Each structure stands twice: as structure tokens, then as C-alpha cells.
Structure 1
Amino acid sequence: MSAKFNNSGSTQSNRASGKSGSSRQNPSARRSRRRSKSPAAPLFAKLQSMTNSKLRRRSESPGQGTPEPGHKKPLYWRWWPWVLLGLGVGVVGSGVYAYRTVQAVDQKLPDTGNILTFVRDGTMTIKAADGTILQQLGPATRDKLTFDQIPPQLIEAFLAAEDQDFYEHNGIDYQSIARAVIANVSAGELVEGGSTITQQLARIVFLSQERSFQRKLREALLAQKIERDLDKQQILEYYLNLVYLGSSAYGVADAAWVYFSKTADQLTLSEMAMIAGMAPAPSVYSPLVDPVAAEQRRNVVLARMLDSEFITQAEMDAAIATPLTVNPSIPKRLYSEIPYFTSYIQQQLPLLIPEEELKVGGLTVETTVNLEWQRIAQNTVRNAIANYGPGQNFEQAALVCIDPRNGEIRALVGGDDFAESQFNRATQAQRQPGSTFKTFVYTAVIASGSSPYKSYVDAKFVVDGYEPQNYSRGYRGSVSIRDALVSSINIVAVKALIDVGFDPVIRMASNMGIKSELLPTYSLALGASEVNLLELTSAYGTLATQGNYAEPHGVVRVINRSGEVIYESEVEPKRVVDETSAAIMTWMLQGVVQNGTGARAQLGRPVAGKTGTSEERRDLWFVGYTPQLVTGVWLGNDDSRPTYGASSTAARTWRDFMGTIVQWLPVQEFPELPRLEGRRGSIEADPVRPGRVSASSARNNDNNDDEGGDRTERRSEPSRRERSRSNEEEEKTEDLRERLRDSGDSGDSGGDSAPAPAAPPEAAAPEPAPAAEPAPPEPLPPVVVPTEPVSEPAPPPEAAAE
């Protein structure tokens, strides 16, 4: 085929088919004629001309020659005009659609005059499980400032932090959006937003917090409308009175009071920068949540103020050098009958719902608390401090009650008086749990396949330079782990830990609910690693439900101001301990209450639990459970001063609370002790190999155990602090320990076999290898106690000197 191209780009093709004069029209020519009949013919002609011109240039270029006869143009050369046409139509259509959408949204925008009458009240309602209103939150102070009452530097701090071009834009700052995109892409995460102060005001007053194109469009259009209807001064005034700044502070007046106990005009430059810095994410930059992050954010705001020439270099340096010291005050309108619980709920909300929803407010929070039980818990804590505190030298207490079947917190008390101290000792205090941690050691041992009658030699024992010591300073010879738990013998607990291994014990505790960091040291068995009361109580609840863990929680669901459910708890119990091992552990812990260190927790119904005491009695614990409820009690001092008490005081406090609560509950039995013959372990032991643990790790964190017949471990190599003491000081310390120790639990208060006589030190076996397991005797019958005891249950024979 030969092809000729004329100036207009038309193509004439003559084809020879073996007969002279016979020819056939080019298909492209026929298509061109058909197109000429349509209104778009001129456009097609021009496109075809451009195509043919390119083809002609290719054919005339060196080495190209003329097209071969029968050669067809590539497919993309024939279709790309259609693609261009489609794109053009799409662009035009999209423009028309966008214009109509903007017009439709613009017509439905609310009246911006509503900003002038907007009152931010009723920002949150917290309800008990039965629907009783526990707390209605609103602006913390109700103080509304005029523009002239707001310090100029505070305004400048917000402009530097949130909208540096506020006075230049008309509601939307395209340069700010571009900067935010570049910053976020460079950082690989969301580090900067592009919303102006006007857009934020529109969102606060008029819009929901849904993340959609429609909402963003409405926000942008509404911001422009606000800019047309209000002046810049009005916009700033209303924004600074409505912006959410965390801890129920809505507006700068609230924030000044909540964080610094000041009015806005009393704030320093450093404090102003900190408040302005919280606006993007109050739960992240609050000094009450993360002081380090708050200080870093303050410094960023100060640098931006310098960049905007709001302050001098000297002012910035002075403000940065100023320590960030908060002086929080209870919001004036945040009264709650049960403040420790409601404050805990407020702290949890940023973890459950988007912060934007908190900023808007109007939320209804439905919780798990039983208000009547909570009142009883608060009275119990106050009575314990008043009745036992002065004589035993402790000033604080905490109590947590959980339904272990679903993880719902029924009562939570974090201290004596919330007005004096908002520190929640149930959720925020990290303390050494003492002997209560032995439960996790023995749960791992039982789950690995061991019998509760497995015996260890209770004798002098040193491993990797570490020497655990029983509270009684004596030894009992061969002791089963069941008896060792009942009488809380330290040496056996450490040997059991070595046998089963650090990792299995730490995994077991973590799976059961301990979320704090646990260190792989020998003293782990005696409660050296710190935990909080909420997680410890929840972990014991795992045994109450035959090995099923349900995460503790206080919020059932959250409803926004539009009536939509934006959060609903979906806690599903998860099996973390095999049922047989859980039943064995419950049986062993029943022995602690029936015959051991927890005797003062008896209720006249099935109860299992464990006492615990940390070094020098700084922390006194009892955690116990029935089949329906698990409750934990802690007694001590915030400054960790030693007490003169014993964990039996915590057990009495537990009984004071639970003895009242169980009146609402039917008596339920724990599962029977399963058959022990032929059991197989559900986890693998990973024994510790002595000699591979460093001396520093072995000697980490000495702590006392509870008065149940044990004393905290003693190190064979003294620390630097101990080496610095004189011999006289050492003698005084040992004498004080002897006088303070509770001799009552040093003897065997019951068990499956009579206690063996104490082995002399020279006869002790230093290696942790267990003795042969004796044949299991018959389980002990439960101790029968009257339902309403007139007096306290008698302690074990040797425990009378508590």
C-alpha cells in the first residue's frame, strides 16, 4: 500500500488487488466522512490533521521510508482523540457538578448569628449502670471573657500555634494547607493541620465530627461565611471562649483555672504558650497527662511566637527556662459524689472515642458502676484509714471491685479525699505487690503440669549471689507448693520460679491481666516488679472465671449530642489459663483464706484470695474473689513510708466491703478440685539455669512479703547503701525488723501434712531441685464460719501478735 498526505492532512489510498483500476477506500477516510456529519466534525478534523502531520513527519524522517502496503496505524493513534474528548467532557461535567454541589451546600448553611448566642453547656453526662446521673459536666468556670479581657500575648500564642495568617485569609488558608501537606509528607505522619481558627469555630458550633468530603466542604464554606458576617475580633473572642483544652476546660478561662488555679490575666508567657499548645490534641499535650510532651509543645509555640515577631529572643529564652509547674484545681462545676470513678472515666474517654467528639461535647457516657456498691466502697476506705491508719501508720487506701465474668468495674476508690488529692491510687499508683504475685508463679507451675502436692525443700538457699529469706527466719524442710502458698513461704516460691522459668511466669501474669513491665529477676517471685491495683485485681478475676480473662473497663457506651452511639464496649472473655489449672489454683487460694494468712477475709461462703506485703510493710494488700466478684484492697502511704501494719488489715478491710456486698448475691460454689492423676501441662516450662543471671539482676529490688510466715529476701552481697551503714545501724535495723515482724504466720496454720521441723543451715540443699512428690492426701474440708460472725475469725495460732 502506498499513502500520500496532502496539506490538509487527508489521506488517499490506492490499493491494487491484482486487477488494474480496482481500488478500495481507506476505512479511516470512511470514518472521517461519517464524523463530518456530526456537530463535532471540525474538532475531529483538526485532531485528524494533527495525527496525520505527526505520521508524515515520522515517514519523512531518515530511515523511516514510506509505510508498507497494508500497514495500519497503531491502535492508540486511532483512539486517543476519543480519550481526549472523554477527559474534556469529564472535566466540564465535574466542574458543573462541583458548582451545583457548592451552591446546594451554601444554600443550606446555618445562620452565623447563632455563634453570638451559642452557649456551651452540658458538655458531658456520666451515668451509673442503672441510669442514675453521676455527673454533668459543663464549662469548668462559666467565665466568658470579652476580647478586651483576654491578654494580648495569649491571643498571640494561639495565633502562632494555630493560625499564623489569621488576619490575611478569608476563612481558608491555602498556604497553610500546603505547608501542612509538605510537613506531614516529610514526617511520614500527621504532624500539622491546615484548619484555620475560623474553620475550627465553625466545627465547634455547627458541625459534627464525621470525616467526610461533605463535612469538609461545609466547614470551608461556613468559614468563609463567618468571615463575611463577623469581624476578626469577634471570631477570636468566641473561639477562645469555646475551644476545648482538656480536663473539662472549654475556653482559656477554664484552662487557666483547671491547670494553674489562676484567672487568664494572671498567666505567665510560659503558661500561655502551654495552653495554646494543647489546642490540637489536649489528651496528648496536657501537662496532667504527659508533662514532657506538654513542655516540648510549649517550646514549639514559643518558637513560633518568635518567628511571628510576637515576642523577643530574650522573652522566649526566659520562658523556656521557666519550669512548667502546674497547680491544678478541681473545675468549679465538676462536683461528683464518686469523684475517683468519674475522673477515671474522663481519663479513659480519649482512648475510646475521637478527640474531636470530646471537643464538641454533648456526650452521654453510660458506665458500669453500681452506685450503691460504690458508696459502700468509699465508706469502707474512709473507715479503714480512720480506724486502722493512725495505729498502723498509713494514710491512704484504695479499693477496686470487678465482675470477672465481663470485666465491668462495679466500684473503684482511689483514695481518702479527692478534694485533697486527685491522684488515683487504684489506677495510677505503681506499687510492689509482695506475696500477691506468688499466685502467678504457682499458676504457671500448675499449668506446666505439676501437682499442688509437689514438694520443695525449704532450707537455706543461695543462687547467683541471691539469698531469699523467709519472714520467720526459719525453715520447714519439705513443703508442698500448696502449703507454701497457704503459709506464704518465700524460699519455695523462688525455687518454683526457677523450675518453671522467668518467661512462662511473666507470660502467665501478662495473659491474666498484668500489663505493667515485669522484670526477669529471682525477686519477681516475691513481688519485686510494680503493678497497680486495678490490673492486679483483674488478674485474680481470671481464676474466678476458671481461666477466662475479661479486660477491666468502666464505660459501656458513649452517645453523642445527635443521639448516635459512637462507642460500645465489646469485651469478650478470653481463655488464658486452662480450666483444670484455674480450678486447682482456686482450691489452693481457698486454703489461704480458710487456714492461712487470709483468715480474716472469711465470709461464711466460698472465698479465695492472697495477702501481700512489700518491703518494710510499705504496701499492704489483699485480693480475693467469690465466683461472682473479685475485689482488691491496698493500704499504704503515697511517699512509701513504712507502716506498722500487716496485710491482715487489708484482709479485714476487704471483708468489711465484701461482707456487705454479698448480701445481694446468692451463694455459689467454686468448681470441685479436679482429678490430678494423668494431668498434662498446658504450657511448657523453661527453667532458669543458675549462673546465667547477673548478680545485679539477681539482687534486684528487695521487698518484704506479707506476714504470712515469710520475710523478704536477703542479699548475700550488700548494696552500696548497705555497705555504707555502720555495724550499729545494721543491728538497729535488724532489731526493728524483728520487733515489727508478725510472728503469727511463721508457723504452719494448716495444710495437707504436718510441717516438718526446720532444717539446720548446714543440712540445707542449695540447689533448687524439688523433692519427690508425695502421694496427694485427701483435700481438706472447708472451714464452716457463721454467715454473720459476731467477732473476727480467730487467726492462726501463732498469728495472735499482729
Structure 2
Amino acid sequence: MKRWILITTLCVAVLALIGAATVWIGIRHLSADLPPVDTIRQIQLSVPLRVTTSDGKLIGEFGAERRTLLHYDQIPPEVIHAFLAAEDDRFFEHPGVDWEGLMRAAVKLALTGQKTQGGSTITMQLARNVFLSNERTFTRKFKEILLSLRIEHELTKKEILELYLNKIFLGERAYGVGAASYVYFGKDIHDLSLAQIATIAGLPKAPSRDNPIANPQRARDRRNYVLGRMRDLGYITQAQYEHARAEPETTHPYQAKVDVDAQYVAEMARAWAVDRYGDDVYDRGLTVVTTIDSTKQTAAVAGLRDALLAYDERHSYRGPEAHLSEDVLSANGHEALLDALDEHAPVAGLLPAVVVSQDDSALKVMTGNGALTLEPKDFAWARLGKKPLIPGDLIRIRRDGDRWRLAEIPTVQGAFVGLAPKDGAIDALVGGFDFYSNKFNRATQARRQVGSGFKPFLYAAGLADGYTPASIFLDAPVVFDDPSVDSSWRPENFEGDLKGPMSLREALVHSRNLVSIRLLQAIGIDYTKQYVQRFGLPVDRLPNDLTMALGSAVFTPLEMARGFATIANGGFLVDPYFVAEVRDSDGKTLYTANPKHACPECPDDGSENEQGGDAANVASPEQTATNNTPAGTQTTPMDGATAGDSDTGGVATRTVSPQVDWLISDMMHDVATRGTGAGTNVLHRSDLAGKTGTTNDQTDAWFNGFQETQVGVAWVGYDQPTPLGRGEVGAKAALPIWIDYMRAALKDVPQARLPQPPGLVEVRIDPKTGKLAPPGSPDAVFDIVQQDHVPEPETNDPRHDPNKAGLEDLY
């Protein structure tokens, strides 16, 4: 018997030794795969990509994750208590592993065969989240236990809790309690209510499923569970529990609080950054500094929105957006009213409101902030007499000074580009009425017919071919027979009238279509197409017929701004760009734009060539776009724009001679002073130049203009080409945007125009013939012409009298 006991004892001892050795070997083997605990201290924050204006104001933030680092003493005690109650109430007592919980899990496994997560302490969660996978295997669990014991041995409890609360995933891309407080409630963690703290503390179990954005009811249930645990553990009183439990479960999802409304530019910068640096730009903490000027951008946004709203008010009111049942206005329907209004988000400052009543004396509405009353002058434009609003109608209102005004979201759209002509820096860009409603960037992507805005480029080609501002053309009917169409083409002036012989200067000032067609006939379509490339306009979009003279070509507002920048800067072709600098999270500069710039005062190297045959050698936008952003492609939302990556910088190529450039600029100055763009006189400046543009049936309305330091191009139209309505021409629909922008852009900017270059002379001209006027001629006018193209003196030869000569004699 004793021998049997001895043998049994020896066998048990051997088995125990073997088991212990196996456990020891297993621990050594698993421990070898575990990372050093010290690496857990190195919290790598994923800092989002930030986009700013040139003066440092935020216009966009993009990031795959949200993280905010908090030290232990910065975390409110209520937050710590809530997580301890929800996840590990014995955290400050156990050695990193809750053996009791593990035993319960083991018993359940033995009895039911089901694996559970029982006994998972905060330390174990930290080990799993930082170093290990979430797979539910025994091997992973053993590694988790070993690493937890090691963490507890090398770190203090406060250090462990600080790391956990900073690293735990809490749904909606939020890592850590500091980020979650902003993501779900838009608040600093110190400003959260007890109920909100409990909501966040309830997330670790299933953060993607139970968060208040994805599943408000599940989040509320988890919140109440956490509150109950906090009460039971003595962290809060019964009164606090009841008060927090009664609080509504509401969220205010985080949105970066931008300083300047420039979302279209922010999106352009985001796409550029991803293209250049890859997808990891979202968490590297890069800052993209754009060329946008915050003051100019603000003026551009306000000007465009005001113009589109004014257009909308000139046309019939379309009526309410929706109709809500009247019970939302009842005493018990406040929550229903708020819910209904939440379904209609504010758009570009236009707030949703529900009509309470409307008559001739007042329009009473309810908003999310309470009741408002609009006086008759605030809604007179809508002409509600025949079709009044009724209770329950959902409408829009907007701020107008210290009053509220009836409004509606415009269906018409617009775009604006403000450009520095010296180097092509984009100072302001607006791609539509509201980015969040429609992300299509009309400033860079919408190719629209440019109408008479094309004429300055055509007239410049005529001047380069030997004509002068004083050259006379006939403003008279013209008919073209085209065998490809059933009827003859009979172009007309916009006003439908005829003025007979007139100079090119006056024809441009008054935007005469028939003169423009005759000029194109005279210099030739091929020559004009080649020459127009000098302004950076893509030649492949120019038509091969005389409709080119009327602006049937399609360009984006940015492309038009580039073309007019060439005139404004003295004849130099610059590349529009919008990224000035990129810095990393430490402030180190990774990229600096190096654009080429205009230099009128630099010695003329003769790079321009006024002969049409040579003009084809001038680079088009597709050729001059830099290596990272091919202009004109559809791979980025930046048609015609670059990020400023010139390889060499330096002086841009002069593509238009100083004489031609000055003359066309001077003619456009007359347009802005006494022609179709005379509305610019409201700015009380004598250094403005511009050109209106209106297409057939007033489908597109443009104003393109500049001062020596600033180019501005405004466009108004429908996304699906539709007539804007009678009288909605460039000077009425688009010019107000330009005026509002220039008022801000040119504030405190001294008046200045390009100096007149050598090679031009002032002469007295007979306005009827374009010839030098004889002494004493009473109708003579002064004009400036090329020195080598001074008109001949007046003669009595009838062949030089446009009133008597036929077109064959004129040309």
C-alpha cells in the first residue's frame, strides 16, 4: 500500500514538474513574442490634415481619426468613475488580471462550451487594443494576461488609466475620451454633463454599434446602465442618477470650426495633398497653406450669394419646400417641430422655418430658436397675395442686417475667381452657392460659353495683325449661307440696332457683334485660334467658324481669369495656383510654391511674336501645367489650376507685346467707364477694366475685369443650360458679384494702371473714317495707336469712305 502511495506521489510530482515546465516554456515562448511595455508610452496621435488661408485661418480639416491627448490630471474625476463603473470597478485593487472574472468565464466555458470576454480588465483591454488582435482564441488570451501583468509591473495605475483613456476606440473615428467628447457632443470634455460622460463610458463594449450617432436607443440603454453602476458603487447620488437618466440623448456631431468659408478650395487642396503625399495625409498632421486671402474670400462668398439671392427675388417665388402637419405647432408639438426642422439643414445661412400665419401685415414663423415675425417689406418680393403661405409650410429665412427676410434656396448657380495677375495666385474662389448642397466646383469644372467676354482676345489678335483701336468696321447686317444647315445664319447685335461705320474701340465698348464677326473675317479663323493661345486658352475648344467671334467657345471661370491675367499683368502668361506651402506636424516646411511671375519692368527678351503663324508655339494650359496637376484633366477638381510647382520660377513668358497688351487694356478701361461695364463706376476708381459676357437667350452671364493687382471673373447660370430670363445679362446678373469683391479686394490699394509703353502715339482721328483728321475737323477724337500703324491722312477718295465703299473695298 505504502509502495503504491509512493509511486502515485512520484507520478503526480513528475506530472506537476512536467506541467510546470510546460507552462514555463509556454510562458517563455509567448513572452518572447510580446513587445516591450515601454513602447506603450509612445502614443502616436493621428493629427488630421488642415487647410488654411494664406493668413493662417482654417478653411478645412480632413482626417480618418480624431485623437486628443489628455494627461491624467486633465481628466475629470466623473469620467474616471464612469469608466471604472462600466469596465473595471476593481481596477485599483487587482494586479492587472481579474482572476475571479477569469474563473467565472472558465466555468461558463466548461458548462456551456461558450467562450466569453469575462474578466477583461482595463489593463487587459489596453494590452489588447495597443498590441494584440481582437481574435477570441486561448493563445491571444494568454498573451493578453502575460502582457497585462508586465504592464502592471512596469507602469503605475494612473499611467495605465491615462493611456487607456487616450487610446480606447470609441466609435466614429474617435480615439480617446477627449476626442469622443468633441465627436459626439462638440464640447470640451470638461463641459460634458454627467449623462454625456456616461454615454461615452458605455461605448467600449461595442463602439461602432452602440454610439449615439449610429444607434441612439442602444446608446441610451448603455448610458443608463453606466449611470446605474455609478450609483451602486457610490460615485453618484440617487438624485444625480435620476436627473442624468432623464436627460435627452442628443448629439451634436463634430465639425471643424472653420474660420473662412472656402470649402471648394479646401476640397481642391485635399485632392492635391492626397495626389502628392498619398492617403496617409489624413493622419500625418500636415498643414496646407493656400494662396487664399481670407478678406477677399469672404467678400467673394458674400457677393456671389447676395447676387444669386437677388436674382431669385427678381423672379417668381417657387413656394414652400414642404408642408408639415399642424400638430407640430401645437403646445405639445415642440419636439416634433425641432425634429422636422432638423431634417432641413441650414443652407448658406438660409434657415428653415415653419409658417404659423401670414397676412398682409405680417408673416409669423417658428424656428429652432423660437418665434419670429417678418414685416411686409421682408416678404413683398414673393408676391404672396394670390397664393399665400399657410400654417405648416416650411420656408427659408435669411438675415438682412438686423432683420429677417423671406428667402429660398436658389436654383440658379454661380462661380467666382479672384486672381493675382502677377504670379497667378488664386486669392479667392467660390464654386457655387453652397458646397455642402452641391460639391460640383463650377469655378474649375464648369465649361460654359463665354459670350462677349471672348472679344478682348479677338480684338487683341486684330491689333497684333496690324489694326488699331481707330480702325473702322461696318456695323451692318450680314448673312452667311452654310450648306450644312437648312437656313442662313443671320447674326445680330444684342440690342438689335445698327450703328454703321465705327472704330474697334467703340465696337468693344458697346460689344457690337457684327463688327466682331467682320474683324474675325478680316484676320482669319486660323490666325485667331493660334493667337488666342497666348492667353492660355485651350485652342481645341475654339470653334472653326465665325461663331467664335460671339464667344461660342466654352471655358471655365478659372481659365478666363488666366486669360485676363495676361492682359492685366502686361502680357505675361502665368499659371494659376492655390497651394503656397505645406508644413508637417512639427512645423517643418515640406513644400513651397515657386511660380513664375510677370515682370513688365524687366528687359524685353523678345519672347513674344505677333505673327499668327508663330503663335502656335505658345504653350497651352495643358502644356504649361506643372508636373503634379495636369490642367484640363478630370483626375482632379482643378481644371486649369496648379499648385504652383514651377520647376524654375523666375519670369513668366511674355506672350503678348507690351503695345498690344496696353491697347486692349485701355479699350477695356473704356468698357468699364462708359460701356457695357459702366456699373463699375460705383467703386469710384479710374483704374478698372472689364468686359461683360452674355450668351444666346441670356443662358450664361459673365463679368471679367481687372485692376493692375487683381483679376476677377464672375459667372451666373443654371447647371443645365437654361435661359436666365429677359434682361439677365452680364452687367445685371454677374457684375454685382465682381463689384462686391473688388470693393473689398482694392480697399486701401492705390489707383494704378500699367504705364504706356514706347511704340504708341496719340493721334487725332476722324471717327467716321478712322483716318487722321485734318486740322480744324470739328468731330475729330483722340486715340492711341501703334506707332508703326498710324492711319493715313484723310482723303477725298470715296474708296476710303465706309459709308460709300463696299466690304470688298474695306478689306
Shorter-chain TM band: 0.3 to 0.5
Give the TM-score normalised by the residue count of structure 2.
0.46
Give the TM-score normalised by the residue count of structure 1.
0.47
Task: Determine which structure has the larger strand proportion and give its number.
Answer: 2
Between 1 and 2, higher relative CO (CA 8 Å, sep ≥ 6) is seen in 1
